[in-house]
């Protein structure tokens, strides 16, 4: 089994994550590659998305730092950074006050 390259794909936009893994459909949704989570799931199931150059049909495929996602002429490469210095794709769009012990 080969290791995932940490070198971003030429022309790929880099996305910083504060938490990993992150699900494939969430990357497509939060990075604006599709209009909704439902659309993300449909294009993945239809085989239109590549992860690290290979067709991926698992909507909840767990992605980690170094993975590259390609769809519809766009590509993003994920990079993990220390918590607090990046916005988590998974937490995007949530209120910061929602992370208390009673959440």
First and final C-alpha spacing in the chain: 40
Q: Above 70 in pLDDT, residue 29?
A: yes
Domains by residue range for the chain, with CATH: 14-83 (3.10.290.10)
Specify whether the CB–CB gap between 29 and 69 falls below 8 A: no
Please tell me whether residue 41 adopts helix, strand or coil conformation.
helix
pLDDT of residue 85: 53
pTM: 0.70
Please tell me whether residue 71 adopts helix, strand or coil conformation.
strand
Mean pLDDT (whole number) for 10-35: 90
Q: Above 80 in pLDDT, residue 1?
A: no
Single out the residue of 57, 69, 67 nearest to residue 28, CA to CA: 69
Q: Alpha-carbon distance 34 to 25, whole Å?
A: 9
Binned at pLDDT 50, 70 and 90, residue 89 comes out as low
């Amino acid at each position: 089994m080969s290791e995932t390259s940490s070198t971003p794909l030429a022309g790929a936009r880099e996305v910083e994550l504060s938490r990993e893994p992150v699900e494939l459909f969430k990357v497509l949704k939060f990075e604006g590659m599709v209009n909704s989570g439902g659309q993300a799931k449909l294009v993945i199931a239809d085989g239109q998305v590549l992860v690290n150059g290979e067709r991926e049909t698992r909507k909840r495929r767990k992605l980690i730092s170094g993975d590259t996602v390609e769809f519809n002429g766009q590509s993003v490469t994920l990079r993990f950074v220390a918590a607090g210095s990046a916005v988590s794709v998974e937490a995007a769009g949530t209120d910061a006050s929602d992370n208390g012990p009673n959440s």
